[in-house]
Structure 1
Amino acid sequence: MRIKNWLIAALCFVSPSLYAHTGGHIDHSLISGLLHPLTGIDHLLVLMAVGLIAAKQGGKALFAFPAVFVALMAAGAVLNVYAVQIPFVESLIALSLIAFGLLVTIGQKQRAKIFFLGVSFFAVFHGYAHAAEIPAESSAALYFSALMLMSLAICLGGCVLGLSTGKRINYLFSLVCLSSGLYYLAGA
């Protein structure tokens, strides 16, 4: 399937028509949680990078890498809930873009696996930031559950993209991550 078709499918999921039939059946917390990972380019790029890296590894990594990343995001959210102060969270998230952007281009599978385990700690900072942005009027459990589900779906979407495209997309994606990371780091 071409990338254009995947983008069209993704846009259908975030279309304003989602709000057309509210009818009180869908909790605001659920919708907010599902849409939140799609609204921050930094989080979206890192989640897609996890999927691309997992696709390059193949096998068990297709599910293990996204699962590890999402679990570490949950750990970061717990740190936020217990009011553990982490300084420079935004700078660390910007650094994660650079780290994952570089990791997407590593060709040797064993080295990439080791580096993935090394840079996965950045997921803690993403989870911490997500938990800090839970709307006051939302059910925190429902919001964060939906956010984690969408984060996992984005990672798996990155796996599909990685399995259906070649090195050229990885390098292009890497450049987007690197330039975004440098841009955010300069502003942090």
Structure 2
Amino acid sequence: MRIKNWLIAALFLVSPSLYAHTGGHIEHSLMNGLLHPLTGIDHLLVLLAVGLIAAKQGGKALFAFPAVFLALMAAGALLNAYAVQIPFVESLIALSLVAFGLLVTISQKQRAKILFLGVSFFAVFHGYAHAAEIPADSSAVMYFSSLMLMSLAICLIGCVIGLSTGKRMNTLFSLICLSSGLYYLAAG
């Protein structure tokens, strides 16, 4: 029943009704940044995976894992801002879905911690891609700040889901990540 409630909340967040109030009281770049992580299933799944993995680790990892991932996303955005060219970004993002999908299923805590640090480098590519999609008419700082805020919220939602569900949900989520990642790799 809890999963159903989370899915309803997620659908509400991406509902077209959010776009119905287009008054000037919210800056364009702020709204774009907040909504952007919700528009790509690849980014959304990876951010939820970070939260699920953090929840499985427990303790300090609940905050440390999302913090590491978001810091590396910011580093990727800086690489984009300084016009560093990274080839195959979309393929690397698709590969990150596969890596995080597999990582969600690992039950040995110490091994999962080490592997998380290893696969977190994919966050650089996510940040790079997000920065590449900043609308020209937006404030880059406002846009990316709100994007990071929403990314943190999604990671925390992943933590809550991970803390309130069991192995069955992790397996289902892993299959979704793996199939999505493999689909994007095959299509790209």
Provide TM-score, normalisation by structure 2. 0.97
Partner of 1:138: 138
Q: Please give the residue correspondences for 1:79-94 in structure 2 after superposition, counting only pairs within 5 Å.
A: 79-94=79-94
What does residue 42 of structure 1 align with?
42
Task: After TM superposition, list the pairs within 5 Å mapping 1:119-158 onto structure 2.
Answer: 119-158=119-158
CA distance in 1, matches of 2:94, 2:8: 28
Shift of 1:148: 0.4
Listed as ranges, the gaps of 5+ residues in structure 2 are none
With 5-14 and 113-122 compared, the bigger mean Cα shift is at 5-14
Question: Which amino acid counterpart does residue 30 of structure 1 have in structure 2?
Answer: L
CA deviation string 1:36-89 (max 9, x = no partner): 101100000000000000000000000110011011000000000000000110
Distance 1:121 1:29 in 2: 27
Look up the equivalent residue of 2:162 and give its one-letter code: G
What code does the residue aligned with 2:99 have?
A: A
The answer on 1:71 being equivalent to 2:71 is: yes
Structure 2 equivalent of residue 95 of structure 1: 95
Q: Render the CA deviation track for 1:116-172: whole Å, top value 9, x for unaligned.
A: 000000000000000000011111111110100000100000000000000001001
Cα distance between partner residues in 2 of 1:186 and 1:13? 30
Aligned-residue Cα RMSD (Å) equals 0.9
TM-score by length of 1: 0.97
Look up the match of 1:17: 17
Q: Which runs of 5+ in 1 are unaligned?
A: none
